[in-house]
Structure 1
Amino acid sequence: MTKLRLAIIGAGPAGIYAADNLLKAERKFDVSIDLFERLPAPYGLVRYGVAPDHPRIKGIITALRDVLDRGDIRIFGNVEFGTDLTLDDLREHYHAVIFATGAVRDSPLPIPGADAIGSFGAGDFVSWYDGHPDVPREWPLEAASVAVVGNGNVALDVSRMLAKHVEDLLPTEIPPNVHDGLAASKVTDVHVFGRRGPAQVKFTPLELRELGELRDVDMVLYDEDFDYDEASKEAIATNKQVMVIDRILQSWRQRPSANGAGGEASRRLHLHFYAKPLQVRTDAEGRAIAFVYERTRPDGQGGVVGTGEVREVPVQAVYRAIGYFGSPLPGIPFDKRHGVVPNREGQVLRKESNEHVPGVYATGWVKRGPVGLIGHTKSDAMETVRHVINDQASWWNPAHPEEESIRQLLAERGVAWTDLDGWHRLDAHEIALGEPHERARIKVVPRDEMVRISRGE
């Protein structure tokens, strides 16, 4: 009986679901899966891309943990593909590989001043407040007035974390350096800008509703944004999610603080719709001093057109939350325009010929771009796994498929990898750190400390 030795690069939801789907799939061969992750801890963006005050979403970790804890998937953390392990190494030791490396870079905002001092990618800020080991410990939070560009859930997460009082984050798992940074924040006003109208936003009702529940934060909306065209009225009438979003926004419009009147709160969160980014205006030293936008209007079909009216809001910081972008992988075809690995249903394709690269597959955001929720990731993995199973004739022929050989290779190269037992040690350590403070956990941030604890050194 044939045995498939499979490598999966990336231990976030996409990689773990792919492993789980393959082990549960109907097939005529045995399977042995090794999961490689460049960070010392698994779970990817569920650990490092979800705001710490979202314990419901973090509940996904429980399902992922259940998969790993079955013991039929080996995990090698703190192993970087392209540095510690190459494509040639994978061909030497496995029959196939699935890349599930996600999308963690910020999409560029192509306007003048986007690289100003005080202009940040939202993904970098998320990584900071989630205690990612590869970002600086400190974050500049000197701005009183801040612009957040984007109308998706990441934009709302960033806005909420900027506007929320740090005491209200104490029950969460934020690391000490993040608490200290947010406690020193000078922010009073957070302005969220979206190019289209309230009926075309990309965030979910749950995310939106949480904004209005922030303590000592006034929600500020503007009446001019709610003169709906027929397409918006149709969207509200026919789409339940849009209907709920509109209901939330309309309830906020009834508050005393709405329409720029201002309430009694010490912080304000402004929602600006029909605002197309034009420029981040800077001073002589290159620091952000204003966000410049063109007022748009509905085109009658769910889109917008420019009005020619230019406005600006004084700000000292800008956060670009317009989406994530994939990163190229050494030796693997890459579509620089869309930030994905070119593929057909997960089969990686050569850019020149569109032919399947034997033995190479992709799943998750590096496969389809940074769209969709966890449910999409599951079905996505299933599609890729189906091709892995059916492509048996074109698998690689590894010279050393023995399970022990990859451990020997990493040991010879001096790679300090972490395994599942190591993650359990780190997990228990973080939970223990949180217990005296009645917190779920306190994350360990420095990579070397994560590795030391995981390896029991």
Structure 2
Amino acid sequence: MPEPRYRVAIVGAGPSGLFAAQFLTARNDIDVDIFDRLPTPYGLLRYGVAPDHTSIKAVAHALARVFDSPAVRFLGLVAVGRDVTREELLAGYDAVIYALGASEDLRMGVPGEDAVGSRSAREFVAWYSGHPDAEPQSLTGVTQVAAIGVGNVAVDVARILIKEPLALDVTDMPADVLGELRRARVSDVWVIGRRGPQHASFTTTELRELCRTPGVAVSVSPDAFDGIDESLLDRRTRANVAVLREASAAETPWPRVRLHFLFWRRPVEVRGDPVRGLVVERTALDASGRLAGTGEIETLDVQLVLRAIGYRAVRLPGVPFDELLGVIPSEHGRVLDGDRPAPREYVVGWIKRGPIGVIGTNKSDARETVEQLLADLAVMGPRSDRIDLLDTLAARGFVPSSYADWQRIEAAEANRGASHARERMKIELWHELLDLVQSERPGGPIPPN
């Protein structure tokens, strides 16, 4: 008699979910179904990592090996709450891992924030990364841009805007995006932080790359370095400060673009609709060490404002959620329902710990969660009353997309890229993705949203 097998569902095919699948398939008695709302796996590796950072995107090749296992299935175009419920997942699997990341933006909370030309950096990144949900970005008439935030997302959008467009031709950016960037006439980009450079979360490699972009003159607000005791800084922060000092002191004759780091400033108003200015207020630490406005204001003549001040996860229907922190509450990866663990439910990635860490952080995070899951399965044993969720979906006339469908998309992108002398070019339109998915599959149209 064959040994009983466990079946685990992972909701989200980004890095955290795929790392979890890797750990699970190290066992030979676990089948894994990986669900995603998109017909394409890899999450932020595909749609969040800057297209010109090919070394980081190459991580996807390593993660793709998880799909070589016959114990793993990719089930795309399936959204929890739209196509399946929490209860159905729990009825179909011995355990469920939520790995959905953080897809909602934090807001500045200032007048004019919703004007045309004021949007989140996440939306801008989605546009140049070819996400099918992305709204197009016109750069017509945009000469000055403000990126609000002092993390790597602000660095990425600034670099894409100031980089020579020809240097982006080797990337997988969609043709329409490259065309818009080639036509753009951006002359000034502002990176704005409420505190000083010693408080910024840039990684030094990213910051150095930005500051050394050819043809770009870098300036740093004169008061940025006031009061910094470098002996008290950690290695990364000290290196960041050194990069900024060096870049601001360098001479760039006849610059193509100017990059301004404006520290100790906070946005207080977006002017115009469409945007024609950003009002910022100088900040300082008060006697109690809290950040406060000084009343000194200035207006930057920008036509595009991109906020990069953080993200939060979105509630999944029926799943416990901490509205204040924007995460699924958990303890070492076990989902908490009130003060008690929710049986057979687990969480990994940003929806577990918040939007912090780099791609590699998800590996140790997933290991912790999977260890708890395996310990629980050892006690509970495999269920004998599981439903077949694919049968349930099929009864509704719905067939998820497969890994083979993704391979067709990947091949089509490679063919499109070859015609432009590059490795691949993203397919960014929903109808084109769905045409490829449905070309060899039964069933009717699959709703993208």
> TM over 0.5, yes or no?
yes
Map of 1:432 onto structure 2: 415
Alpha-carbon shift at residue 304 of structure 1 (Å): 4.8
* Mapped contact 1:359–1:396 kept (Cα < 8 A): no
Alpha-carbon shift at residue 339 of structure 1 (Å): 1.3
Give the 5 Å matches for 1:380-395. 380-392=365-377, 393=379
3-state SS in 1 of match to 2:335: strand
Q: Does 1:449 align with 2:449?
A: no
C-alpha distance in structure 1 between counterparts of 2:20 and 2:402, whole Å: 19
* Mapped contact 2:312–2:326 kept (Cα < 8 A): yes
Map of 1:296 onto structure 2: 283
CA 1:339–1:345 in 2, change beyond 3 Å: closer, same or farther? same
3-state SS in 2 of match to 1:79: coil
One-letter identity of the residue aligned with 2:367: M
Alpha-carbon shift at residue 214 of structure 1 (Å): 2.3
Map of 2:447 onto structure 1: none
Map of 1:406 onto structure 2: 389
Map of 1:358 onto structure 2: 343
CA 1:117–1:452 in 2, change beyond 3 Å: closer, same or farther? closer
- Paired residues, what number? 437
C-alpha distance in structure 1 between counterparts of 2:373 and 2:183, whole Å: 51
* Mapped contact 1:36–1:77 kept (Cα < 8 A): yes
* Mapped contact 1:141–1:182 kept (Cα < 8 A): no
Map of 2:266 onto structure 1: 276
Alpha-carbon shift at residue 399 of structure 1 (Å): 3.2
One-letter identity of the residue aligned with 1:287: P
CA 1:302–1:229 in 2, change beyond 3 Å: closer, same or farther? farther
TM-score scaled by length of structure 1: 0.89
3-state SS in 1 of match to 2:360: helix
C-alpha distance in structure 2 between counterparts of 1:385 and 1:184, whole Å: 48
Map of 1:38 onto structure 2: 37
Structure 2 gap segments, 5+ residues each = 441-449
> Aligned-residue CA RMSD in angstroms?
2.3
Correspondent of 1:21 among 4, 9, 23 = 23
Give the 5 Å matches for 1:180-195. 180-195=179-194
Map of 2:446 onto structure 1: none
Give the 5 Å matches for 1:293-332. 293-297=280-284, 304-332=291-319
Q: Does 1:344 align with 2:331?
A: yes
Q: Deviations over 1:126-165 (max 9, x none)?
A: 1111000112345455321111100000001011112223
C-alpha distance in structure 2 between counterparts of 1:58 and 1:117, whole Å: 31
Alpha-carbon shift at residue 227 of structure 1 (Å): 2.6
* Mapped contact 1:358–1:395 kept (Cα < 8 A): no
One-letter identity of the residue aligned with 1:308: G
3-state SS in 2 of match to 1:124: helix
Give the 5 Å matches for 1:199-238. 199-230=198-229, 233-236=230-233
C-alpha distance in structure 2 between counterparts of 1:302 and 1:62, whole Å: 46
One-letter identity of the residue aligned with 1:355: R
3-state SS in 2 of match to 1:80: coil
Q: Deviations over 1:196-217 (max 9, x none)?
A: 1122210111111111232332
One-letter identity of the residue aligned with 1:436: S
% of aligned pairs identical?
A: 39
Map of 1:121 onto structure 2: 120
One-letter identity of the residue aligned with 2:9: A
TM-score scaled by length of structure 2: 0.91
Alpha-carbon shift at residue 384 of structure 1 (Å): 1.2
3-state SS in 1 of match to 2:224: helix
Q: Deviations over 1:214-273 (max 9, x none)?
A: 23322222332223433xx2344xx2222322222122122235xxxxx51232111111
One-letter identity of the residue aligned with 1:246: V
Map of 1:243 onto structure 2: 238
CA 1:140–1:89 in 2, change beyond 3 Å: closer, same or farther? farther
CA 1:193–1:4 in 2, change beyond 3 Å: closer, same or farther? same
C-alpha distance in structure 2 between counterparts of 1:297 and 1:248, whole Å: 23
3-state SS in 2 of match to 1:310: strand
C-alpha distance in structure 1 between counterparts of 2:216 and 2:201, whole Å: 23
* Mapped contact 1:291–1:315 kept (Cα < 8 A): yes
3-state SS in 2 of match to 1:156: helix
* Mapped contact 1:79–1:415 kept (Cα < 8 A): no
Map of 1:335 onto structure 2: 322
Q: Does 1:376 align with 2:364?
A: no
Map of 2:59 onto structure 1: 60
Map of 1:422 onto structure 2: 405
Alpha-carbon shift at residue 305 of structure 1 (Å): 4.7
Alpha-carbon shift at residue 420 of structure 1 (Å): 1.7
